[in-house]
Structure 1
């Protein structure tokens, strides 16, 4: 049996154009599964209950906070995209490739999975350990496709900090989940129908 040597492993940068749709989806769902598992285990290692973390409050105020924050973020994103050159907002084409030909039901599923998995890790586990500021720095760093440009990096940091703030204000993880879901869904649908109109 041949011995495994880590030095023989070669890592190469792959352009988004080289990924077919199937590979893109596998990558998305696999990274979200890993994110969910890390968040789930981290919450448990903190001595907390994941079930209690996801318990609904009697009040539906979290929906208003989530929808309100999502609306503000969408309006800000649209305003920025009107005045900032497209190159300065470039994410390498990931969002366009992800949403431009996707059926609406699948966009909804993607946005729901991403919002639950990422908020479990970032707001549920990491923010509990280090606070909203450092969580937001990590959240911006994880969204590596934006790091080439300071405007989207700053926006991702601001969005993350806002998500952390509404969780602290409402006392439930469902507020940032609702905001994250609504924002991603609206932006995904904008990409989907904008590209459809351009055809």
Structure 2
């Protein structure tokens, strides 16, 4: 039996163009699963119940209004930015294009739901409880590393995260930022999927 040598492991940088569709999706779902697990473990260390945070709020309709209203504002700003700002200034390296361009509608919905639940559980549910919305938003922007090359998308991601934290504090339920995050990702995914190619 051949001996495994840790020193022989080599890590190399891979661009999104080097991944096939299956590897890209596996990467997306794996990172979301890791995000969810970290969020749940962090909440347990905070002596808080992850399932308690997902309890359906008594004022659920109000929470959905907050989420939908925030999502509409973000989508409007994003559409204005794409209309007036050169594409090079908002380029994410083609990641979103690769994720959503050829995906069926049901899969765009599933991806948007998975990302919104997993990321909100970690960032609003655990991290914001520990360090507040400002530092949480800096961390949120930093992990969206594909945007860090350009200040406009970095600022937008930070602002969206801060807004999600703010509506979480206003409503007292994680469902408001989950709804907003879901609607933002869904709308952006559908725009990418159904817009005409140049």
- TM, length-normalised to structure 2: 0.96
Give the match for residue 138 of structure 1. Answer: 139
Provide, for residues 117-156 of structure 1, a one-character-per-residue CA deviation record: whole Å limited to 9, x for no partner: 0000000000000000000000000000001111100100
Give the match for residue 68 of structure 1. Answer: 69
1:55 aligns with 2:61: no
What secondary structure sits across from 2:93 in the alignment? coil
- TM, length-normalised to structure 1: 0.96
Displacement of 1:3 in angstroms is 5.0
**Number of aligned residues:** 196
Q: Distance in 2 between matches of 1:106 and 1:198?
A: 20
What secondary structure sits across from 2:135 in the alignment? helix
Give the match for residue 147 of structure 1. Answer: 148
1:26 aligns with 2:42: no
Q: Distance in 2 between matches of 1:198 and 1:3?
A: 48
Q: Distance in 1 between matches of 2:82 and 2:4?
A: 52
CA distance change for structure 1 residues 191 and 3 in 2, over 3 Å: closer, same or farther?
closer
Q: Which runs of 4+ in 1 moved over 3 A?
A: none
Displacement of 1:54 in angstroms is 0.5
What secondary structure sits across from 1:129 in the alignment? helix
What secondary structure sits across from 2:57 in the alignment? coil
List alignment gaps of at least 5 residues for structure 1: none
Give the match for residue 175 of structure 2. Answer: 174
1:198 aligns with 2:174: no
Provide, for residues 72-130 of structure 1, a one-character-per-residue CA deviation record: whole Å limited to 9, x for no partner: 00000010111111011000000000001000000000000000000000000000000
List alignment gaps of at least 5 residues for structure 2: none
Q: Distance in 1 between matches of 2:69 and 2:96?
A: 23
Q: Distance in 1 between matches of 2:66 and 2:163?
A: 11
Q: Distance in 1 between matches of 2:134 and 2:29?
A: 27
